[in-house]
Amino acid sequence: MNSFKKNLLKKRYNAERRFQWYGKIAIGLALSFLAVFMFQIFSKGYSAFQKTWIVTEVHYDKELLLIDAESPSKDDLENADYYDVAYKAMTSLDPGLPEEEDRQLIQMVSYKYEAEVKDLLLKNPDYLGKIVPIKLTASDDVDQVHKGNYPRDIPEENRRVNDYQLQIYDMLNERGDILLEFNISFFTSPDSREAELAGIASSFMGTVFSILVCLAFSFPVAVLAAIYLEEFAPKNKFTDFIEVNINNLAAVPSIVFGLLGLGVLLAVFNLPRSTPLVGGITLSLMTLPTIIIAARASLKAVPPSIREAALAMGASNMQTTMHHTVPLSMPGTLSGTIIGLAQALGETAPLILIGMVAFVNTIPGTPVDPAASLPVQIYIWSESAERGFVEKVSACIMVLLAFLILMNLAAQIVRHKFEKKWS
Amino acid sequence: MSKIKAENVNVYYGSKQALFDVSIDIAEKEVTALIGPSGCGKSTFLRCLNRMNDVIEICRVEGSIKMDNLELNSRKLDVVRLRENVGMVFQKPNPFPKTIYENVAYGPTIHGIAQSKEEMDQIVETSLKKAALWNEVKDRLDEIATGLSGGQQQRLCIARAISVSPEVILMDEPCSALDPIATAQIEELIDDLKKEVTIVIVTHSMSQAARVSQKTGFFHLGKLIEFGPTDKIFKNPDNQQTQDYITGRFG
């Protein structure tokens, strides 16, 4: 081998090695971005899955409750006055505090503490007249102090927790009367202006309903359109025109669909504002082209020999399509659908336009109840000033990601099942 | 006796003409082989016989093709009925990605041939037996057909084609994707089938044409150059081009 040939060979090998390195670097970069992103979210968000409680004692004093009856009924307990009992439960933490300073103690728990005091007695009527320990939801500021997210060394006037409250917190913490438990209410409560009470139940259900509505509208329409265009429609200028338009539709910014939803669904058809029904239909406009394109591609990918085999057996076009082509294309169509839905899942802009950004503090039971959605909830919380919402934003992102992963998993399982059946 | 009679068949793909004035008489319960170099139009002609050219949008067929006095090249013809009577086996085995049973039962199902499950079982069994596949698959009828070997798949396709008891079976190079042993099995099968069915086979292998057919037609550049008894075509052709092709001087 002469030196020229040797050089050429070496160059070729080097080029390949270089190329492989470029690839590795690209993958490494992508993975490290992902790792940083995940670390950011998890390190900020994991604490939102825990909730801080303040333990104190409550005396269910009949006199303060203004209960006269000897053996009070459920209604009596329901209608009793809990203001003083709850108030005393908190102020008893520091009996020496002058009355005009009480608010400092009350501010350490959520504004719903009175309701919590009431709920405990309603659940345990025999507590009446007794002194019992009670867990009260700590305010978001105490919560953040306890989780270590709140700097204690800045000047008092810049802090939302003052020196006195910190002193009480330290005392309670030493006694073991500050509890950190799994935050069930994050999953069961609707949104709230108070960070310690806010949950994702409303937006989660809103997202579930929106996706279901979106699926119900877009999947049948898209699949029928794809089958017709691919298997039956004549190939002419008009169908070419439709194809170009569908491809263009897939690239239209989502906010435009939001405007369409606002202008047509809300203004013309008068559908209820802020509801998953309208959100789902708006999102389905977005997912339609995605599903159509995926379904057509997977119909195209079915080998022509299968069609020929069916036609040669005397199957009609319709039978060939329904018995052979469509079932074989289903795995591809389904994964296209999931990709479309996953896009819809993370969509924020169109939902804001049709009013799903409204503050909703009820949990929707049907697609026509007002609701938020997870990405919009993230947007709303990230606008809030309180420190307590910072971790909620990350936690909400984690829930959204988990939702996405679950959907992909479901898609994989469905795909796998279909593929097993057909090949 | 003549089963299919084609007269002056011209086929165009768009503006390109693929067949020129082909006239041929295909005899009943015989094997007719169509030979010729690639692109000579023999497959195109074969696909005229069960109207599979309909699938190709730019394809246009002129002339008359009559099967038992029924005009095949007519708009009014019901292609579903035609294809029930004219089965086809393709170059590459193309079983449906379903079970072996479902593959054979598909034709009888869509044409409503079997009245009951027992009848269907019977049809599947006879078809597979006729295709010399029964013994190999009788214990695994519910397995996916694409798991069979190439030769088995092709015999399954033949079983599928004969399941609706067609009068004619068209074979488009049925052995070109198979090894010699599988090829021998298929050829044996063709020999058996011709007792009941008229077979038209397109093949690239001249020895195969010589082995299985009674009549042979030689196509070249879209024209039927010579057609006659296989013996004569191979031993003493009238046409110089046929002579050259058969002796391997071109093609």
Structure confidence at residue A207 (pLDDT):
92
Identify the residue among B55, B82, B92 best suited for mutation to test binding to A, counting A beta carbons within 10 A and taking the highest: B55
Would the pLDDT of A422 be above 60? Answer: no
> A309–B95: do the CB atoms touch at under 8 Å?
yes
String of DSSP letters for B165-196: --SEEEEESTTTTS-HHHHHHHHHHHHHHTTT
CB contact under 8 A, A309 and B157: yes
What confidence score (pLDDT) does residue A85 get?
A: 86
Domain of residue B12, CATH code: 3.40.50.300
DSSP bridge pairs for B61? B11
Name chain A contacts of B107, Cβ cutoff 8 Å. Answer: 313-314
- Which pLDDT does position A259 carry in this prediction? 92
- What pLDDT is stored for residue B202 in this prediction? 94
Instruction: Report yes or no on B21 lying in a domain.
Output: yes
**B214 has which bridge partners?**
none
Domains of chain A in sequence order: 47-183 (no CATH), 201-422 (1.10.3720.10)
A309 contacts B111? CB cut-off 8 A: no
Is the minimum CB–CB distance between B150 and chain A shorter than 8 Å?
no
Contacts of residue A235, Cβ cutoff 8 Å, sequence gap at least 6: B57
Q: How many CB atoms lie within 10 A of CB A313?
A: 28
The pLDDT assigned to A411 comes to 81
Residues of chain B in contact with residue A305, where contact means CB-CB under 8 angstroms, are: 90, 92, 94
Nearest CA of chain B to the CA of A251: how many Å? 32
pLDDT value at residue A423: 45
CA nearest B162 in A: which residue?
A313
* Chunked mean pLDDT (size 10), chain B, 251 residues: 89 92 92 90 92 88 90 88 92 92 93 90 92 90 90 92 93 88 89 92 91 93 92 90 85 56
Taking CA atoms, B116 is separated from A315, A323, A370, B113, B123, in Å, by 20, 21, 55, 9, 11
With an 8 Å Cβ cutoff, are B50 and A315 in contact? no
| CB-closest option in B55, B80, B92 to A314 | B80
**Angle between helix A276-300 and helix A201-227 axes, rounded to 10 deg:** 40
Is the CB of B97 less than 8 angstroms away from the CB of A306?
A: yes
> A313, A322, A423: best mutation site toward chain B, by most B Cβ within 10 Å?
A313
Closest CA in chain A for residue B92: A305
Contact B83 A328 (CB under 8 A): no
CB B92 to CB A235 under 8 A?
Answer: no
Q: Give how many domains chain B has, as a whole number.
A: 1
**Which chain A residues are within 8 Å of B144, Cβ to Cβ?**
423
Please report residues of B whose CB lies closer than 8 A to that of A307. 55
Range of the domain at B32: 2-96+167-246
Residue B138 lies in a domain: no
pLDDT of A30 strictly over 90: yes
Residues A70 and B51: their CA atoms lie apart, in Å, by 96
**∠ Cα A186 A188 A192 (to 5°):** 60
Alpha carbons A265 and A411: distance in angstroms, whole number: 30
A305, A314, A422 member nearest B94 (Cβ): A305
Across the interface, whether the CB atoms of A313 and B160 are under 8 A apart is answered yes
Judge: B50–A422 Cβ closer than 8 Å, yes or no: no
The C-alpha of B237 sits at a distance from chain A's nearest C-alpha, in angstroms, of 34
pTM for the full predicted model: 0.82
Does the beta-carbon distance from B98 to A307 stay under 8 Å?
Answer: no
- Residue A152 pLDDT exceeds 90: no
Cβ pair B159, B128 in contact under 8 A: yes
**Residue B111 belongs to a domain:** no
- Categorize the per-residue pLDDT at A101 as very low, low, confident or very high, splitting at 50, 70 and 90: confident
Q: In this predicted structure, what is the pLDDT of residue A141?
A: 87
pLDDT over 70 for what percent of chain A?
A: 99
CA distance B164 to B160: 8
Is the residue at B132 inside a domain? no
**A192: pLDDT strictly greater than 90:** no
Residues in chain B with CB shorter than 8 Å from the CB of A311 are: 52, 55, 83
A36-86, pLDDT tens digit by residue?
999 999 998 888 899 999 999 888 888 888 887 777 888 888 888 888 888
Residue A116 sits at the vertex; the CA angle it makes with A115 and A118, to the nearest 5 degrees, is: 65
Residues 6+ away with beta carbon under 8 Å from B238: B226, B228
B121 falls within a domain: no
pLDDT tens sequence across A298-357: 999 999 899 999 999 999 999 999 999 999 998 889 888 988 898 898 888 899 888 888
R_g (Cα) of chain B, nearest Å: 18
Nearest to A308 among B94, B110, B111 (CB): B94
Looking at beta carbons, which residues of chain B come within 8 Å of A328?
A: 97
For residue B118, is it within any domain? Answer: no
Contact map slice: B 54-83 vs A, CB within 8 A? 55, 57, 79-83
| pLDDT category of residue A420 using cuts at 50, 70 and 90 | low
The reply to whether B146 touches chain A by the CB within 8 Å rule is yes
Least confident span in A116-130, A154-168, A314-328, A406-420? A406-420
B215 assigned to some structural domain: yes
Residues in B closer than 8 angstroms to A303, CB to CB, are 94
What is the maximal distance between C-alpha atoms in chain A? 112
Nearest chain A residue to B111, by CA: A314
Contact B83 A316 (CB under 8 A): no
Q: Which residues of B touch A317 (CB under 8 A)?
A: none
Residues in B touching A422 (Cβ below 8 Å): 97-98
Q: Do B110 and A319 touch (CB under 8 A)?
A: yes
Record: contact A422-B55, CB cut-off 8 A: no
pLDDT for res B251 = 56
* Residues in chain A within 8 Å Cβ distance of B146: 423
ipTM field: 0.90
Q: Are A306 and B94 inside 8 Å of each other by CB?
A: yes
Q: How many CB atoms lie within 10 A of CB B56?
A: 12
Which of B52, B98, B164 is nearest residue A311 as measured by Cβ atoms?
A: B52
Give one DSSP letter per residue of A107-172, joined into a string.
TTB-TTHHHHHHHHHHH-GGGTTSEEEEEEEBPHHHHHHHTT-S-SSS-GGG-SS-HHHHHHHHHH
CB contact residues (below 8 A), chain B span 19-58, against chain A: 50, 52, 55, 57
| DSSP classification of residue B52 | G
Whether A314 and B107 lie within 8 Å, measured CB to CB: yes
Q: Is B98 part of the contact surface with chain A (CB cutoff 8 Å)?
A: yes
Number of Cβ pairs closer than 8 Å across A and B? Answer: 64
Whether A313 and B161 lie within 8 Å, measured CB to CB: yes
**pLDDT tier for residue A11 given thresholds of 50, 70 and 90:** very high
User: What is residue A421's predicted lDDT score, i.e. its pLDDT?
Assistant: 54
